[in-house]
Structure 1
Amino acid sequence: MTTRISAVPRPAPAVDLAVPFADCHITSDAQAAVLRVLQSGWVTTGREVAAFETEFAAAVGAEYAVAVSSCTQGIELALRSLGLPPGSLVLSSTMTFCGAVQAIMHAGHQPVLVDVDPATGLPTPATVRTAVQAFGRPAALTVVHWAGDVADVPALAEAAGVPLDHVVVDAAHALGTYAGDAPVGSGPGATCFSFYATKNLPLGEGGMITTDDAARADWLRKARLHGMTADAWRRYLPGGSWRYNVADAGLKANMTDIQAAMGRAQLTHFPSWQRRRAQIAAQYDEQLAGLPGVGLPHRPAPGQGTHAWHLYPIRLRLNGGIDRDEVIAALSERAIGTSVHFIPVHRLAYFSQAALIPSAGLTGADALFGQLLSLPMYPRLSGAQVDAVCAAITGIAHQGISGKGTE
């Protein structure tokens, strides 16, 4: 006999959920900044992008920041900047967004998928060594700070036999994450951030690459715009020249001044938004801790870092045959939006053939995937909405324990 969640009225699909999963909040001052740029007569890459780069680099403690059109393009450019031979092996966690692995392939390299610890969702030195033993030493390594948690980048790089300047950090979830006392984005190598609509600094689209290497930053600025030695802003400035050269292959991956002006305004609100995310995580913790069948998100141990709380992913191991997808449906009926981060890349048809996967499989990611559920997490989420989410999950969990609704 399996336990089923008690039937609830199934309302017609609603356009606006009572508790949406995500919220892309563009502040009034960011909207005003967009209007200012639109009225300026210059909307593409220009002074706003340069100012945003300077302010963002200061915010994460990096020497240089290069604004790009997306985090995915940032990862590709960061890999291209290494000048690796075509077809080089590049390690990637399988518990990541598909675009991060596509970036490896678009850079001309061969992705090798790495398993994760199902308790954390992060690769470990042991899972990295398994991939290296199966396919050989890689030329580079991408590391994702999944959900905003802290991956041990130095330990993973050592296990892979890769120098730190050949690590590309995928920080799409990690603006606001700290490794120890250092914000993600500082230090050697290249770190790539996302400003997608659901991210901790939402612009709708856009990304940033940070690095402490001046030569690498200079190469990235050229490569993001076709490899041209001078962009339009510099060519059309008073005293500028129309002449330019192209020495390397590049992409069309620049950020516009419209996005950058939004980003500068949004960045001023970022500290208060992060404090609110931490408050929401604490409220979830208080109400869901100890609930049978519900595991709280992993977070850094004291002194090891700070979680950015981009996501709040719980693990469901409910009794009575209630599975994750049934919980998602029940919460949706209660007007509560959720998501799953992520479908492991090796489970996607294209990458199951295009990526290298250890013969033993990626069992940690497989075990974790069936349990994952990302709850709403954004600064404008109210305490009452968090209470509603927790009450619904508590009711579902208790129903699974008691066996009510069995057939």
Structure 2
Amino acid sequence: MLASGRVATGAQAAMFEREFAARVKARHAVAVSSGTAAIELALRAMRLPPGGIVLVPAVTFCGVAQAVLHAGLRPLLVDVDPVTAMPSPATVAAALQGHAHGRIRPAAMLVLHFGGAPSPLPELAAAAGLPLYRVVEDAAHGPGTTIHGRAVGALSRAACFSFSPTSNLPIGEGGMVTCDDGELAARVRRAGRNGMSADVRQRDGTAGSAWHFTVEDGGLKANMSDLEAAIGRAQLRRLPSWQRLREQLAAGYTLRLHDVGTLLPPSIPTGGRHAWNLYVLQVTERYGRSRDELAAALAERGISTAVHYVPLHRLGYFRHAALRPISGLPGADQLFPRLLSLPLYPGLTEHRVDRICAELHRLAR
């Protein structure tokens, strides 16, 4: 690929799209520059009314809400179940009923498969009063997630994947939009090429015609390079073995920590398969140390942890940029001080898991 002199979007990106679509059983895939760009482009392609309200989990990455705003829409934060860290049908219904403007009709909904756990997609859509073609899945944690035996990727209007360094399919940067709707895929592709009617793969062919294109829609530059796509194709072949390792490591954590009742393990889904992008503990008050005290103590022992995520309503910008239910977000507020993500990646050894769990036992009071 490097020898060809072609590193911009080209043949490698097209092959990566086909291979990824086949992996998740979707008819179409469009490679883009990031998972955040994937969400913005999918929402743009749905041609929702300007300023339309999009339901967004209160506990998610800040870039998700930014993507909604960049698409010209307004996020309405939905509270989460403090057990699953994801919205439930009850919290979706509460968000629509308990709002300062009265009961509202959302234009669309974003559903997050938190940490790789399958979200109850049909039930959430029903609670929102939305058909599945008005639902977009945030599948940043989702390569490997299934719902009732079907891979996440074509269960809603569009699924948006991330290939960041910590994703299950790490490229460095990049994302993918998958769907079964050919027209939606074409709109995503155009919007990700600044709205141009023909991308560079079509414009560099016939001599004298390379400059012919028009712009009919708004857009941004969000294409994936062939260099990233070539890495993605190689990584995709490793995904099944990496998923098996993630499952083994997650099971190892759960087994070793089962007798520390003051640390709650991730909930195990019954309606699908967990992709184990994250292993998120809840540090309860009975553990004897706060989440932040535990994270600091582990860091002193050479063990890095993270928090996924700071609820959006606790971030200054979204206090005015996002809508909130008048009843507040009590589930997110209860959950946030407890969240602690342990190391989880295919190169993690069982010996390292042993040591992490031993420290968690020792630090309990």
Q: TM-score range by the shorter chain?
A: over 0.9
Q: Look up the match of 1:285.
A: 254
For residue 137 of structure 1, the aligned residue among 81, 95, 105 is 105
Alignment of structure 1 residues 7-406 onto 2, 5 Å: 37-135=1-99, 136-238=104-206, 241-242=209-210, 243-301=212-270, 304-319=271-286, 321-397=288-364, 400=365
Question: Retained in 1: the 8 A contact 2:194–2:221?
Answer: yes
Q: CA RMSD in A?
A: 1.2
CA displacement 1:129-186 (0-9 Å, x = unmatched): 1111134010100011011011111111111111111111000011110111000112
Instruction: State the AA in 2 paired with 1:83.
Output: R
Whole-angstrom distance in 1 between the partners of 2:131 and 2:220: 26
In 1: Cα distance, 2:353 partner to 2:332 partner: 28
Shift of 1:115: 0.2
Higher mean alpha-carbon deviation, 316-325 vs 148-157, is at 316-325
Shift of 1:268: 0.4
Residue identity opposite 1:84 in structure 2: L
Deviation at 1:238, TM superposition (A): 4.8
Regions of 4+ moved over 6 Å: none
Letter in 2 for 1:59: R
| Secondary structure of 1:39's aligned partner | coil
Structure whose CA Rg is larger: 1
The Cα of 1:321 is off from its aligned counterpart by 4.4
Instruction: Confirm or deny: 8 A CA contact 1:64 1:213 kept in the other structure.
Output: yes
Mapped partners of 1:348, 1:361: distance in 2? 15
Q: TM-score, normalised by structure 2?
A: 0.97
Give distance in 1, aligned partners of 2:2 and 2:316. 43
Consecutive unaligned residues of structure 1, counting only runs of 5 or more, are 1-36, 401-407
Structure 2 unaligned regions, length at least 5: none
Judged with a 3 Å threshold, the aligned counterparts in structure 2 of structure 1 residues 326 and 64 are, in CA distance, closer, same or farther, namely: same
- C-alpha distance in 1, partners of 2:286/2:189? 53
Q: Summarize the Cα distance change of 1:320–1:253 in structure 2 as closer, same or farther, 3 Å threshold.
A: closer
Q: Distance in 1 between matches of 2:89 and 2:267?
A: 18
Matched AA of 2:352: Q
Report the Cα distance in structure 2 between the residues aligned to 1:343 and 1:293, rounded to whole angstroms: 22
Identical aligned residues as a percent: 52
SS of the equivalent of 1:349 reads coil
Asked whether the 8 Å contact 1:294–1:318 carries over to 2, the reply is no
Give the number of the structure with larger relative contact order, counting CA–CA contacts within 8 Å between residues 6 or more apart: 1
The answer (yes or no) to whether the contact 1:143–1:153 under 8 Å persists in 2 is yes
Q: TM-score, normalised by structure 1?
A: 0.87
What SS class does the counterpart of residue 85 from structure 2 fall into?
A: coil
